[in-house]
Amino acid sequence: MNRRTFLSGCSAAIAAMAGSQLHSMTFSTADNNPEIFILVFLRGGMDGLHLVAPVSDKNYIDSREIGLRITESGTQKGLPLINTLSGQDFYLHAKAQPFKELYDSKQLAIIHACGLTNGTRSHFDAMDLIDKGVSDTNSAPSTGWLTRLLETIPHTGHLPAISATPQLPVSLLGSNTATSLYDPKGFTLNADPRFTGILKNLYQGDSALARTAQQTLQTIQYIQSKLPRKNGTLTDYVPDNLAHYPSQWQVQELTQSFKTLAQLIKMDVGLQVATIDFGGWDMHEGQTWLFPLLLEGFAQALTAFYNDIHLYHKRVTIAVMSEFGRRLRSNKSNGTDHGYGNAMLVLGGNVKGGTMYGKWPGLATEQLDNRVDLAVTTDYRTILSEICMKRLHTSAIQTIFPGFIKPQLLNFLS
């Protein structure tokens, strides 16, 4: 019996006390320092050609107005990268300075021209396919790819999987091991503390229902016992390693999500898989000012989180992706329309960083997909498969990504 079954069998009062955040949970023994995979999904179609691009490519220069591209000099001057693709001069956007530092310290890898091989430019279809780990709508399973990943690895702690956002993404659809947890302070019984004792007495015994209830209460108490307090009162979380999380309006929720993850990792709750969604990247207009704003906040938040968990780098691998990229040529509203190929980032202590990976297809008209978009040369599942195989130690790629032929690994991980 899983947590969903337990809650559905409880009275409405008990369910309300436990809170909706505790659905779909299963439990096991204490943590033994498992590998942790964090998937950050930039919802809306992040413009990979505005994040990292071949700045001296004439096709790139001619296709975009100055405010929508990275340049070698001037007001839009970017950050030059080493070990790039096809001998071209790839630069990062200037607002991604924290990523440049991680790249130069060989902890961040960039894979360009990757994505779905389906070709869809629909947000809904692309996100649904990626979240389910397929490229064909006709073969889409009823569960998320992270759900199937979790079924192939042993669970070793209180909370094997979480979404650090208010709801579970489709990638965790059907999971009995995942829950949404936006703020650990809210991971409590919403009632008088005496009700904990009442519930313990109510769910004594060795039935499946009783065991699930007991384990739920134990997990709540465990997390509550780890939260910072002063004179018995909960206090704000204080990051480690002088990590400074941004507080700008555009990343306030994102910052809270990263703080939640940092706390759970340090609590040793047995976390193995976590997701964060960060939207707002569908910039058909106003991209000249909005993209730098979001990128700066995102880069600061992710880097603060990474600095905060500095003692755990060898256990953590972070992947950043979006459902598709944007069109090479900018539109007439200071924006870009839905495209195809995109960039992915992988960060962690086991990443062979400071290098770009993949095959660059070029930006000449005849090299573009449908003669308008950056082509996809690396299936997104190739990157995720390498993380599954090398860091989460599962070889069940056909189970996780149905119909995906065993990938030719890019070897961006040790």
Q: Residue 193 domain-assigned?
A: no
Look at residue 1 and tell me if it is in a domain: no
With b for 16 or more beta-carbon neighbours within 10 A and e for fewer, the 133-146 pattern comes to bbbeeeebbebbbb
The boundaries of the domain holding residue 377 are 28-185+243-400
Q: Dump pLDDT digits (tens) for 365-377.
A: 999 999 999 999 9
Annotate 110-135 with three-state secondary structure.
EEEEEECCCCCCCHHHHHHHHHHCCC
Percentage of the residues of the chain whose pLDDT score is greater than 90: 74
Q: Which residue has the higher pLDDT, 140 or 267?
A: 267
**What are the φ/ψ torsions at residue 31 (nearest 5 degrees)?**
-65, 145
Residue at 213 is within a domain:
no
Question: What ranges make up the beta strands (E) of 210-264?
Answer: 229-230, 233-234
For the stretch 227-246, pLDDT in tens is: 878 877 788 899 999 999 99
Classify residue 233: in a domain, yes or no: no
Asked if residue 287 is part of any domain, the answer here is yes
3-class SS of residue 363 = coil
Look up residue 349 and give its DSSP letter: T
Under the banding of pLDDT at 50, 70 and 90, the label for residue 29 is very low
**Which comes out higher in pLDDT, residue 216 or 33?**
33
Quote the DSSP letter at residue 401. Answer: S
pLDDT in tens, 253-310: 999 999 999 999 999 999 999 999 999 999 999 999 999 999 999 999 999 999 999 9
- pLDDT of amino acid 156: 72
Specify the CATH number for the domain of residue 36: 3.40.720
Least confident span in 25-39, 101-115, 274-288: 25-39
For residue 401, pLDDT over 70 is answered with yes
In a domain, 76, yes or no: yes
pLDDT digits (tens, 9 = 90+) for 180-197: 999 887 766 555 666 667
Report residue 198's pLDDT band, with 50, 70 and 90 as the boundaries.
low
Looking at the structure of the chain, the number of domains it has is 1
Structural domain includes residue 165: yes
Q: What is the pLDDT of residue 146?
A: 99
Q: Which residues contact 257 (CB under 8 A, 6 or more apart)?
A: 164, 165, 182, 276
Instruction: Give the span between the Cα atoms of 59 and 135, in whole angstroms.
Output: 29
If you average pLDDT over residues 135-164, what whole number do you get? 92
Q: How confident is the model at residue 14 (pLDDT cuts 50, 70, 90)?
A: very low
Alpha helices in 247-392 (DSSP H): 252-267, 287-308, 380-390
The pLDDT value recorded for residue 7 is: 39
Query: Which amino acid belongs to residue 197?
Result: G
Q: Is residue 232 part of a domain?
A: no
**19 pLDDT above the threshold of 60:** no
Q: What is the pLDDT of residues 384-396, one digit of tens each?
A: 999 999 999 999 9
CA–CA separation, 96 vs 134, rounded Å? 30
Task: Give me the DSSP letters along 143-174.
Answer: S-HHHHHHHTS---SS-SEEESSSS--GGGTT
Residue 24, pLDDT above cutoff 50: no
Confidence of residue 15 (pLDDT cuts 50, 70, 90): very low
Rounded to whole angstroms, the Cα distance separating 252 from 20 reads 22
With a threshold of 0.75, does the pTM exceed it? yes
Among 397, 257, 315, smallest CA distance to 36 is for 315
